[in-house]
Homo-oligomer: A and B are copies of this chain.
């Protein structure tokens, strides 16, 4: 049986995890799974870092080109990150007819079509299970297990940092900035947390998922993304009073027969009876609904050294099986690099329920004037709650939950209300999810 030689470029957190897990499992892969894999090369600029790791007989190098230049390498594992050097590296690896395994969600989301086309041209594959959901088998479940399903809905909590911050804000009744600082101290948030808290990282993963199943590429950067920076502890407390938890959700919906795909990332009020409301701390979850299978939930650690390494090794096993059996490009990626970019539904056209929190001067008639503007925009009110604010004595928060309305109407009404001189602070608007689309989400009791 032929040998399958692996070269790893980038020995950061995930790369280190992969080296460790390979050193533990490679012999078992060879003996019990008939997968003749060998770690032949590793490359990283930091010599000290390489020395910490159980690289065994692998040839060590400071230069990624050494990995690409080795004709005996069959699989290049790109764990450098970023969209510059990593992109060149992958394109060069593909051009050299090497299979590529990557955990690089930004790269796949932004340059997927180009990369998958290059893979096809060279008759090699790109494996990217670790790019979405850390240790959870999101890509394999979508592409293989649910292959006979039209995926009608995805709702996902796919960024552990944001979920940790929102969980802590709720638990400790603290503001975003306080919790973020604490999360940074504990290593649950980066020194520069923008990619996470702005929703960008979630959007990368959502773009990848959406591109896999609706017959075309979902162009990253073309759908609505809103992060969690503006969520206040008031929002969380009011939400809780009303029976909702606030989660940063990635949403992908496609109504049967509708041309549009509705893709978005934003904070959402999730009813406490909905399974996604129970996902706390750094845990991630992906709730898929297939037309045949119904709802399926995957739940686990969406990031971290060993969970992500676990997915990279599952890709190594798949790639090795494909190499051994001469089955390169076993699972086609024709959607992702089709010419057909999907038509996305503008967020103004979604229909949703909304949480609105107005901060107004505590004068008589204020409630009436707001309600009247909402009414003029065909916005029907489900409930109203006025609370005392402890933080800000110049204004009081008034919370409205709407029935289902068109987002364009909400936006127009909010613009009008913003111009009222009783409005003292920016109005908070959070979409409510769960029952929209009449979806058959898993409910817990």
Complex: chain B residue closest to A318, CB-CB? B144
A140 and B148 in contact, given A275-B299, A293-B306, A301-B295 (Cβ under 8 angstroms): no
A147 and B297 in contact, given A32-B334, A280-B445, A442-B283 (Cβ under 8 angstroms): no
**Residues in B whose Cβ lies below 8 Å from that of A171:** 445
Query: Do the beta carbons of A292 and B145 come within 8 Å of each other?
Result: no
Q: Chain B's nearest CB lies how many Å from the CB of A385?
A: 23
How many of chain A's residues have a CB under 8 angstroms from any CB in B?
Answer: 61
Of the candidates B293, B307, B332, the one whose C-beta lies within 8 Å of that of A33 is B332
A297 and B294 in contact, given A147-B317, A148-B310, A309-B148 (Cβ under 8 angstroms): no
Cα distance A296–B299 when bound, in Å? 6
**Residues in B whose Cβ lies below 8 Å from that of A298:** 296-299
**Residues in B whose Cβ lies below 8 Å from that of A81:** none
| A12 in contact (CB, < 8 A) | no
**Residues in B whose Cβ lies below 8 Å from that of A296:** 135-137, 298-300
Interface residues of A in 267-304 (CB under 8 A from B): 275, 278-280, 283, 290, 292-301, 304
**Residues in B whose Cβ lies below 8 Å from that of A311:** 145, 293
**Residues in B whose Cβ lies below 8 Å from that of A309:** 148, 292
Complex: chain B residue closest to A277, CB-CB? B444
**Residues in B whose Cβ lies below 8 Å from that of A32:** 215, 332, 334-335
A331 and B321 in contact, given A21-B148, A292-B306, A299-B442 (Cβ under 8 angstroms): yes
Cα distance A255–B431 when bound, in Å? 46
| A149 in contact (CB, < 8 A) | yes
Q: Chain B's nearest CB lies how many Å from the CB of A26?
A: 10
Cα distance A275–B297 when bound, in Å? 12
Of A246-254, A322-330, A370-378, the segment with at least 4 beta carbons within 8 Å of chain B is: A322-330
A330 and B334 in contact, given A296-B136, A297-B298, A314-B148 (Cβ under 8 angstroms): no
| A313 in contact (CB, < 8 A) | yes
Of the candidates B275, B278, B294, B313, the one whose C-beta lies within 8 Å of that of A306 is B294
| A25 in contact (CB, < 8 A) | yes
Q: Chain B's nearest CB lies how many Å from the CB of A134?
A: 8
Query: Do the beta carbons of A300 and B310 come within 8 Å of each other?
Result: no
| A34 in contact (CB, < 8 A) | yes
**Residues in B whose Cβ lies below 8 Å from that of A317:** 144, 147-148
Of the candidates B283, B307, B314, B325, the one whose C-beta lies within 8 Å of that of A330 is B325
Cα distance A275–B149 when bound, in Å? 27
What residues make up the interface of A, taking CB atoms closer than 8 Å to B? 17, 21, 25, 29, 32-34, 129, 135-137, 140-141, 144-149, 167, 171, 215, 275, 278-280, 283, 290, 292-301, 304, 306-307, 309-311, 313-314, 317-318, 321, 325-327, 330-332, 334-335, 442-445
- Name the 7 nearest CB pairs between A and B, nearest first: A148-B313, A137-B145, A325-B327, A135-B293, A297-B299, A278-B444, A293-B310
Q: List 18 A-B contacts (CB under 8 A).
A: A25-B148, A33-B147, A129-B145, A135-B292, A137-B141, A144-B317, A146-B314, A148-B317, A167-B445, A280-B445, A293-B301, A293-B306, A295-B301, A298-B299, A299-B299, A299-B442, A300-B442, A326-B326
